[in-house]
Amino acid sequence: MAKYIYQHEKWTDFSWQNAAVSAALGEVRLLQGKVLGLLHTLGFSSKEEKNLEMLTFDVLKSSEIEGEKLSYEQVRSSIARRLGVNTAGLVASSRHVEGVVEMMLDATQRYQNPLTEERLFGWHAALFPTGYSGMHKIETAQYRTGEMQVVSGAMGKAKVHYEAVAAKDVKAEMDKLLSWLNDDTVVIDSVLKAAIAHFWFVIIHPFDDGNGRIARAISDMLLARSESSTERFYSLSKQMLAERSAYYEVLQKSQHSSDITAWLVWFLSCLKHALQETEISIQNSLRKVEFWEKYKNTPINERQRLMVNKLFDDFFGKLTSSKWAKIAKCSPDTALRDIKDLIEKGILSQDEAGGRSANYKLVC
SS3 call for 15: strand
* pLDDT tens digit sequence for 312-330: 876 778 899 999 999 999 9
Q: Report percent pLDDT > 70 for the chain.
A: 96
pLDDT at 355: 60
For the chain, give every domain's residue range: 5-286, 295-362
Q: What is the largest CA-CA distance in the chain?
A: 74
Beta carbons of 293 and 314 less than 8 angstroms apart: no
What confidence score (pLDDT) does residue 153 get? 65
How many C-beta atoms lie closer than 10 Å to residue 56's C-beta? 25
* pLDDT per position as a tens digit, 204-250: 999 999 999 999 999 999 999 999 999 999 999 999 999 999 998 99
In 3D space, the residue among 9, 21, 6, 4 whose CA is nearest the CA of residue 193 turns out to be: 21
Q: Is the pLDDT of residue 288 over 90?
A: no
Residues in the chain, total: 364
**Residue among 25, 7, 31 at smallest CA distance from 195:** 25
Q: What is the pLDDT at residue 235?
A: 96
The overall average pLDDT reported for the chain is 92
Output the pLDDT for position 28.
97
Give the pLDDT band of residue 128 (cuts 50, 70, 90): very high
- Taking residues 48-77, report their average pLDDT: 94
Q: Return the CATH superfamily for domain 5-286.
A: Fido-like domain (1.10.3290.10)
Which ranges of 110-161 would DSSP assign to H, the alpha helix? 117-127
Q: Which fold has domain 295-362?
A: Arc Repressor Mutant, subunit A (1.10.10)
The alpha carbon of residue 20 and the mean position of all alpha carbons in its chain are separated, in whole angstroms, by: 24
